[in-house]
Chains A and B, each alone.
Chain A
C-alpha cells in the first residue's frame, strides 16, 4: 500500500514541477507575443526601412520623424566599447586572482568585486554623473561631459564583476593536473597560464563575455544619467541616446504613434539581445566541441 501512496506523491510532485516550469516558459511566451503585437503596428505605419535606417528621431515635432538608427548604433557602439574596456581588465583580474594572488589578498579582492556587483545601477549613474562626467569634460575640453565615452566607461565598470566572477570560476575549475604537467615540462607560470589554463577555461571565459554583453545592452538607468540623452548619431564626445533610454525617456508622456514606436524600439532591442545571445552561444558551443574532439 505504501508504494502506491509514494507513487501518487511522486506523480503529484512531478505535476507541480511541470507547472512551475511551464510558468517560466509562459512568461517568456507572453512577453514575446505582447512585444510583437504591440511593436509591429508602428513599424508597419512608418515602414521598416525608414524606422531602422533613417537617422532622425523627432517624435514630437509637427512632422514627426521616427528613425532609430542613432539608437541602434549607439547601443551597438556603447556595448562594444564597454566590452573592449571591461573584458581585458576583467579577464586579467580573473587570471591574477585565480593563479597569482596570495589567498588572503584573493579573499579581500573578491569581496570588493562582490560589493561592486551589488551596487544598484542608479548609484553607478549618480557617481558617473557627479565624478566621471565633469572629469571627461575638463579632460577633453568639452562643453558637456555627458557623452558616449562616459556611458561606455560606466557600463564597463558595471559589467566588470560579471566578467571577473564567471572567468574566475572557469579558471579555478581548470584541473591542477594540467598546470602541474606544464610546470614539470619546464614551462614558467606565465607560459602555463597562457598556453594551458587559459585555453582550458576559454568556454567559461566566453560565457562571462556573453553575460557582460547582455547586461550592457539592457542597461538603462545608469546610461541615461551619463550619456546626455540626445538623439544624435553616435559620437564619442557627443550626447547620445541608447535603445533602452529612448524608451524610458519618452514613455511617461507618449501617446499615439509615438507610443507605438516606443514599443517597436522595445521589439528591436529584444531581437538585438536575442541575436547577440544566439551568436555568442553558438560560438561557445563551437569552442566546447573543439575542446572535446
Chain B
C-alpha cells in the first residue's frame, strides 16, 4: 500500500491548560476525500487547522506528537511553514475573499510565491477559476470586486484562490455552512471533481454531506478520535456505540 499524504501520530494539543486533542492518530491517503464529523467543540476544526499549522496564530497553543506530510515532520523547526501552507491549501467557513478584484484575489498566492509574468498569471487565474467551476460566471468581469459576487460564488472564488498555488491537499473548514442549498450542491459537486487531482480533508457538521462526498469519515468526540473508517461502513455499521448514537441522531 502507498504511503499516506498526511499522517497524524499520537497528536496532543492544548489551548493553555485545556487539552483540545487527545492522542489523535489518522492516515490520509492521496486523492481521497476525508470528512471530519462530530458535535461542536469536539476538536475536528482544531485538528484540521493543525494540519497546515494555522493554529500557530493562536497565542497559547501547544502541540505534542507528530504530523507527517509526505513523511516530513510539519513541526520540524527547519521546515518553512509558508512552504507547507503552499502545499496544503485551506478554505474557511465564511467566504473570505480579499477586498480586491476577482483577478487579484486569484493571483494573490502566485504573486506571493514570485510569479510576476502577466501571461503566466492570466493562465493560472483562468485555470483556477475553471477548476473551481466559476470561470463561465465571471470571465467577463475579472476586474470587478470579489465582494460583488454572491456568497456561493465567493466561496468558489476562495477555492479557486487556494487552487491557484497548486497545493496537493485542500483543507476545508465547514465550507458550505454559510451557504444556501443550491450553492452547497455546487460546492459538493466541485469537491467530487477536485478529488481526481487533490486530497481533500473537510470538516462538516452535516452528516448527509459527509455521506454524499467523503470516501472516509472520522468521528471526533471531546477531543478524541472515536472512529475512522470508510464512510459507508462508519454510517451503516459503526463499531463504537458513541459513533452509532451520533450518526443516528441520538445526540449532537
Interface residues, chain A, with chain B CB atoms under 8 Å away: 175, 177-178, 180-188, 191, 195-196, 199-200, 291-293
Contact = CB atoms under 8 A, between A and B. Distances in A.
A187 B99 contact: no
B86 to A, nearest CB: 4
Contacts of A199: 99-100
Contacts of A178: 96, 98-99
Contact of B99 (A186, A188, A200): A200
Interface stretch (B28-36, B106-114, B231-239): B106-114
A111 B54 CA distance: 31
B112 A185 contact: yes
Contacts of A184: 52, 54, 85, 89-90, 92, 162
B98 A186 contact: no
Describe A's contact surface by its main secondary structure.
helix
Given A293-B144, A293-B145, A182 B113 contact: no
A12 B113 CA distance: 63
A229 to B, nearest CB: 48
Interface string B34-75: 000000000000000000101001000000000000000000
A145 B92 CA distance: 59
A178 B97 CA distance: 7
B158 A292 contact: no
B112 A180 contact: no
Contacts of A196: 98
Instruction: From A177, A191, A292, name the one whose CB has the most chain B CB atoms within 10 angstroms.
Output: A177
A291 B104 CA distance: 13
B148 interface: yes
B82 A188 contact: yes
A128 B143 CA distance: 51
Contacts of A292: 99, 145, 147
Given A186-B82, A186-B112, A293-B145, 6 more contacts: A182-B108, A184-B54, A184-B90, A186-B83, A186-B84, A195-B112
A293 B90 CA distance: 26
A186 B54 contact: no
Contacts of B83: 186
A149 to B, nearest CB: 40
A183 B92 CA distance: 12
B162 A185 contact: yes
Given A183-B85, A185-B165, A186-B165, A291 B54 contact: no
Nearest to B87: A186
A177 B95 CA distance: 9
Contacts of A185: 85-86, 89, 108-109, 112, 161-162, 165
Given A177-B94, A180-B92, A187 B148 contact: no
Contact of A181 (B57, B92, B148, B165): B92
B178 to A, nearest CB: 12
B54 A180 contact: yes
B6 to A, nearest CB: 16
Nearest to B110: A185
A177 B92 contact: yes
Contact of B109 (A186, A200, A291, A293): A186
Contacts of A195: 108, 112
